[in-house]
Amino acid sequence: MSILNADKKILVTGAAGFIGYYLSERLLDMGCEVVGIDNLNDYYDVSLKHARLNLLKPYSKFKFHKINLANKPAIDKLFADEKFDIVVNLAAQAGVRYSITNPEAYINSNIVGFFNILEACLHNPVEHLVYASSSSVYGTNKKVPFSTDDKVDNPVSLYAATKKSNELMAHVYSKLYKIPSTGLRFFTVYGPMGRPDMAYFSFTNKMVKGEKIQIFNYGDMKRDFTYIDDIVTGVINVMGKVPKETEDGAPYKVYNIGNNKPENLLYFVETLEMCLMREGIIDRPAEKELVPMQPGDVYQTYADVDDLIRDFGFKPDTSLEEGLSRFAKWYREFYIDKDGDKYENSKG
């Protein structure tokens, strides 16, 4: 039986972010009380973060606080004041390539910030802590699909290392203090209102300007693209199920949430171009430059979701064409037509 119902008060960190916004909206539609926090940093266009928050503002059961996870006194006060039932930690410094040039941001947000969340859960007990990990923890693993039973000791970016660290830290707190915690390894999340640093979004921005796009590893890459609605459904399912204790006594679990269907990068680009042309956003395919693999990248991601199917009877299944079509429609509305009242005052 799910512990998630309309009586719950839920903290969503990173509520102005891509997944955080969609999760908050779904929870509010279910009748839950949602407290969102975000530091609204400028890693990407802040106006997009404000646009997401503006869509949440009409909900009477939504509250937002601008707080940095690394600010321990602010986090401690928030937990003491609000008494959360469930915490979903999605706030993190995202991006693999950015971690190579700005490593300190990842330590502050992903390590120090997550430690502050764990400590707050310890001193203000919660029913369940759910937190974002990443498919990047699989690093250079050759065996596919990637299983949560695989060893993940070979990260190829600091971002991946911080996400693996989150899993280890959560396990310690689960074992020592019986804090029920579940980590979610997300696989290449995409969709409307997504992150502009993600390939599908940055490719689109360049195509609109008529600029050349770079295809890494000469196009020989595969990604398990997972549509945002499927991600949120997975998170909602997991939130309601407290993990059983493992053999070492920790109420702890990790799941993959991915489409279980890796797509070739060139096919992905062709599908994106088709969707953008169908919406009248571009009138011809982009000029492409095939370039070597970038530091921190991996050749393939591919999620084993057997645990998700077994425990929840659910697996992501939105096709790439359907997901990119929805993204293209949104992109036209938000950036080209600029005619949606719901985004009013979103420029922050």
Query: What CA–CA distances, in Å, run from 255 to 15, 54, 221, 231, 238?
Result: 21, 31, 23, 12, 9
The helix/strand/coil state of 66 is strand
Query: What CA–CA distances, in Å, run from 55 to 24, 39, 235, 334?
Result: 10, 18, 20, 13
At residue 63, what are phi and psi to the nearest 5 degrees? -125, 145
Specify the pLDDT at position 201: 96
Domain architecture of the chain: domains with CATH: 9-188+226-260+299-317 (3.40.50.720)
Query: Do the Cβ atoms of 57 and 100 come closer than 8 Å?
Result: no
Distance of CA 74 to the CA centre of its chain: 23
The helix/strand/coil state of 132 is strand
Q: What angle do CA 85, 89, 92 make, to 5 degrees?
A: 160
Cis amide bond preceding 196, omega within 30: no
Give the span between the Cα atoms of 58 and 159, in whole angstroms: 34
At residue 211, what are phi and psi to the nearest 5 degrees? -90, 155
The helix/strand/coil state of 11 is strand
pLDDT per residue of the chain (348 residues) written in tens, 0 to 9: 899 999 999 999 999 999 999 999 999 999 999 999 999 999 999 999 999 999 999 999 999 999 999 999 999 999 999 999 999 999 999 888 888 889 999 999 999 999 999 999 999 999 999 999 999 999 989 899 999 999 999 999 999 999 999 999 999 999 999 999 999 999 999 999 999 999 999 999 999 999 999 999 988 899 999 999 999 999 999 999 999 999 999 999 999 999 999 999 999 999 999 999 999 999 999 999 999 988 878 888 999 999 999 999 999 999 999 999 999 999 999 998 875 445 554 443
Q: Which amino acid is at 76?
A: D
Active-site residue identified among 43, 131, 159, 343: 159
Beta partners for 264? 222
CA dihedral of 320, 314, 236, 119, whole degrees rounded to 10: -100
User: Is 331 a catalytic site residue?
Assistant: no
DSSP string, 268-325: HHHHHHHHHHHTTS-SSPPPEEE-PPPTT--SB--B--HHHHHHHS------HHHHHH
Give the span between the Cα atoms of 219 and 265, in whole angstroms: 6
Q: Which amino acid is at 97?
A: R
- The residues, ordered by sequence, that sit 6+ positions from 33 with a Cβ below 8 Å of its Cβ are 8, 9, 10, 61, 62
